[in-house]
Amino acid sequence: MTAPTALIADDETALADYLKAQLADVWPELRVVGMAHNGVDALRLIDELAPDYAFLDIRMPGLSGLDVAGKLAGSDAAPQIVFITAYDQYAVDAFEREAVDYLLKPASLDRLRQTVTRLQRAASEMAAAPAARPDAELLSKLAGLLGGGVPSNRLEWIRAAHGNETRLIAVDEVIYFEARDKYVSVFTADAESLIRTPLKELLDGLDPAKFWQIHRGTIVAARHIAGTVRDFRGRTLVKLKTRPDQLVVSRAYLHLFRQM
Amino acid sequence: MATMTSTRTRATLTTATASDPNNWHPLEIIFPVFRRWPSTRARDLLYTLIWNMLLWAAISAVVLMTGSPKDLGRFLWVNFVITQSVGFTIHLLFEVGNYLLGKQVAQSRGAVRALYFIAIPVTGVFVGYTLAFVMLDLKGAITWLYSSRGARSVAIASLIISAILATITTMRAKQSAAEAALAQERQRTIDAERRALEAQLRMLQAQIEPHFLYNTLGNAVGLIDPAPDKARILLERLIDYLRSTLSASREDTAPLERELASVRAYLELMQVRMGDRLRFSLDYPEALTHACLPPMLLQPVVENAIQHGLEPKIDGGTIRIEATQQDAMLRIQITDTGIGFQPGARPRPGGGIGLANLRERLATLYGTDARLTITDHSPSGVCVTLHLPLTYC
């Protein structure tokens, strides 16, 4: 019987080396055939070296540990996977709930021994423990549980022209948008910038709970609204907390303020 | 008759033109409900009309209670014309007077001020009555008005007018003092809230991520055997970092030198962890050594650049921190060559929130005097520029 082989992937060299040294202690027969420091290299090396086991860090540049496992899912030659994660109660809960093997960084020898025992038992039973070969569905579920894994189509940053530079404005900072002739003005606490994205398109990328359209040409961030006033013409105007501007509410959107 | 006259002349006392920020109408001093609408010329004219009507009703009621005039309709009409005429005349005179002398009157005190507030109502009563009698075609009444008896009536009336004016002016002064006290109280509350908010925001920024701590300690343990020197550097820098981060919540300001020292501790620590994937430079002129900064302002920006810019990039990159003086402003620029903001990329946990938090802190501390700009860095990465008012500590 040939010696079992393993690959370790962690972007922090010291952590990868340390795990290698610990494994040498608790599992002397295991041969670490490859070390990767980003997700892309990890995937390539697994492909080249076909190790029996892969210890994958979750947070890695290029591809995350979950991404790498996802790309391997379903293939027969896939190694058994142990995820490595820095302490994070949510992560631990997520792994435990889904019965995926994981190690906490830095792993104590005792904890590592448990994992090794489990891996060896699975190998001797000649049946891959299903949990050690997570399928794509499980991985995407995990990615969701760990947060930040699912790309959202919500707008987070806006690139806007301000004078002759392009500024990045976090959507959270925007107080209101106002449509002008060809442009849309983006107002933050201290500046007005221009974007070309039409208001209608912006609306699709904004969280309707946070941004309210109050007029055909105006979208305002709800948390920046101080209140409303009526002017002498009977129009309802929105007063803002951090800007002196008053925004007209058109009749179609008056229902937003009925209780205020 | 004299008493009636004097009561009627209270009708209008607009003491400033519409352009005057201290503009007020006696109606809004007696009845606070009228303060709800901001002063405009049209509003003040309307207020004078309301005031005249109220007086007319009051005078009519008093007269009707003390005895019934021969021709009730005629009495009400004459009285109405007189009230309106006198009221609007005084309104007009104050408009003109304030237009010509507003500034001088506002600065004047005592006798000069009293003279102004006596002269206008007295003139107003004479002119207003004359106009009313002309309109009503009461020639005999005009003759009476300019006789010695008539003049005496008006003279007495004017004394009473001045007394009323003095009362209203005093009421106004008291009201302004009360408003000022209230505004001061409100300002104190706002200041207290601002300080509390700032402390809270600073605490938030000074929070140490468990992820960071465990990874760093994991590295240290891993380095003890193979590279004890590196392990020692790592732990020393970690101690520096923890000390500055944990003490930041206790002080209000910190010199640039110290803030950058703690940033350097963090970067050196990360350099041990990331190896040659992280390069950095820190530059500031000698003169800015003691420039004042709110503690923990830069740290989160640098941590952001590492966590969201350089760590996710396979080859890593460079982070450059540069402080310069620009006129009366301290300008600090933090540039990284990381992955930058990619459209459609995974949301960066805390990325936007951290910056929103920073912006809020700047607004709390400096109002509109500080600026935070974020731009793309070419060919990749992000450039964060801070402009703060330059002070020394």
Q: What's the sign of the alpha-carbon dihedral B94, B96, B97, B99?
A: positive
Q: What is the mean pLDDT of residues A107-124?
A: 87
pTM: 0.64
B residues 189..228 contacting A (CB < 8 A): 210-211, 214-215, 217-219, 221-223, 225-227
Cα atoms in the Cβ-side hemisphere of radius 13 Å centred on B118: 15
Among partner residues A15, A104, A165, which is closest to B222 by beta-carbon distance? A15
CA dist B350 → B15, B148, B261, B357 (Å): 56, 86, 24, 10
CA–CA separation, A95 and A117 (whole Å): 18
pLDDT at A158 > cutoff 90: no
Find where tokens 């040939």 sit.
A2
Q: Is A35 on the interface with B (CB under 8 A)?
A: no
CB contact under 8 A, B312 and A167: no
Of the residues B208, B212, B215, B353, the best mutation for testing chain A's interface (the one with the most A CB atoms within 10 Å of its CB) is B215
B residues 250..309 contacting A (CB < 8 A): 272-275, 277
Of the residues A168, A171, A207, the best mutation for testing chain B's interface (the one with the most B CB atoms within 10 Å of its CB) is A168
Residue A200's φ and ψ, nearest 5 degrees, are -65, -40
Q: Is B382 on the interface with A (CB under 8 A)?
A: yes
Q: What is the mean pLDDT of residues A230-244?
A: 87
Residue type, position B118, single letter: I
Our CA-based measurement puts residue B221 at a distance from the nearest CA of chain A, in whole angstroms, of 8
pLDDT at B390 > cutoff 80: yes
For A177, the enclosing helix (H) or strand (E) is strand A176-179
Of A25, A33, A26, which is closest to residue A3 (Cα–Cα)?
A: A33
A259 confidence band (pLDDT: 50, 70, 90): low
pLDDT at B352 > cutoff 60: no
So what's the pLDDT on residue A126?
A: 59
pLDDT at B136 > cutoff 80: yes
Of B344, B348, B340, B342, which is closest to residue B317 (Cα–Cα)?
A: B340
CA–CA separation, B23 and B16 (whole Å): 5
Residue type, position A49, single letter: L
Among partner residues B214, B311, B376, which is closest to A168 by beta-carbon distance? B376
pLDDT at A220 > cutoff 60: yes
Burial of B343 (0-12, 13-18, 19+ CB in 10 A): exposed
So what's the pLDDT on residue B286?
A: 95
pLDDT at B5 > cutoff 50: no
Q: What is the mean pLDDT of residues B181-201?
A: 85
Among partner residues A17, A104, A189, which is closest to B226 by beta-carbon distance? A17
